[in-house]
Amino acid sequence: MRRIYSDYAYGPGPRTNCFWDESALAFDWPEMDGDARADLCIIGAGFTGVNAAISAAQSGAAVIVLEAETPGWGASGRNGGFCCLGGGLPERAKLTQRFGEASARAYHNAELSAVSHVADLLSTYGIDADVHSDGETQLAHKPSRMGELEASARDFERTYGKPARILRAADLAEAGLDGPFHGAVSIPTGFALNPRKYIDGILQVARDLGVRIMARSPATGLSRQSGEWHVVTPKGTVRADKALIATNGYSSEDLPDWMAARYMPTQSTIVVTRPLTGDEIQAQGWTSQQMSYDTRHLLHYFRLMPDNRFLIGMRGGLTATPGSEARARANVRKNLAQMFPAWAEVEITHQWSGMVCLSPKFLPFAGEVPEHPGLLAGFAYHGNGVAMASYMGHLLGRLAVGERAEIIPDAIRADPGRFPLGRARRAVMPPAYARFWLQDL
Ligand X SMILES: Cc1cc2nc3c(=O)[nH]c(=O)nc-3n(C[C@H](O)[C@H](O)[C@H](O)COP(=O)(O)OP(=O)(O)OC[C@H]3O[C@@H](n4cnc5c(N)ncnc54)[C@H](O)[C@@H]3O)c2cc1C
Task: Provide, rounded to whole angstroms, the least separation between the CB of residue 317 and ligand X.
Answer: 12
Are 68 and 85 contacting, i.e. CB atoms less than 8 angstroms apart? no
Distance CA 209, CA 31 (A): 19
- Least distance (Å) from ligand X to the CB of residue 62? 18
Task: Please name the residues in contact with 414: beta carbons below 8 A apart, sequence gap of 6 or more.
Answer: 99, 361, 363, 365
Report the nearest approach of ligand X to the CB of residue 254 (Å): 10
Q: Which is nearer to ligand X, 146 or 243 (CB)?
A: 243
Rounded least distance, CB 273 to ligand X, Å: 16
**In terms of CB distance, is 146 or 255 closer to ligand X?**
255
Burial track 384-407 (b if 16+ CB lie within 10 A, e otherwise) = bbbbbbbbbbbbbbbbbbeeeeee
Give the nearest residue (CB) to ligand X: 385
Least distance from ligand X to the Cβ atom of residue 354, Å: 3
Whole-number minimum distance, CB 15 to ligand X, in Å?
9
Peptide bond preceding 256: is omega within 30 degrees of 0, i.e. cis? Answer: yes
Min CB(200)–ligand X separation in Å? 13
- CB closer to ligand X, 339 vs 355: 355
Q: Could you write out the DSSP letters of every residue in 231-248?
A: EEETTEEEEEEEEEE--G
Report in angstroms how near the CB of residue 175 gets to ligand X at its nearest: 21
Nearer to ligand X, 383 or 409 (CB): 383
State the chain's maximal CA–CA distance in angstroms: 68
3-state helix, strand, coil in the chain (%, to 5): 40, 25, 40
> Are the C-beta atoms of 397 and 205 separated by less than 8 Å?
no
**C-alpha–C-alpha distance, residues 283 and 278, integer Å:** 9
Q: Which is nearer to ligand X, 164 or 215 (CB)?
A: 215
Cα gap 243→61, rounded to integer Å: 12
Q: Which is nearer to ligand X, 81 or 183 (CB)?
A: 81
- Closer residue to ligand X, CB minimum distance, 280 or 288: 288
Instruction: Please give the Cα distance from 13 to 73 (Å, whole number).
Output: 12
- For ligand X, the closer of residues 101 and 257 by Cβ is 257
Q: List the beta bridge partners of residue 234.
A: none
The distance of closest approach from Cβ of residue 79 to ligand X in the complex, given in angstroms and rounded to an integer, is 3
Cβ distance to ligand X smaller for residue 205 or 342: 205
Residue 378's closest CA among 26, 149, 53? 53
Residues that bind ligand X (CB under 6 A): 1, 43-49, 66-69, 73-76, 78-82, 84, 218-219, 246-250, 252, 255, 268, 270, 301, 313, 354-356, 381, 383-387, 389
CB atoms within 10 A of CB 179: 19
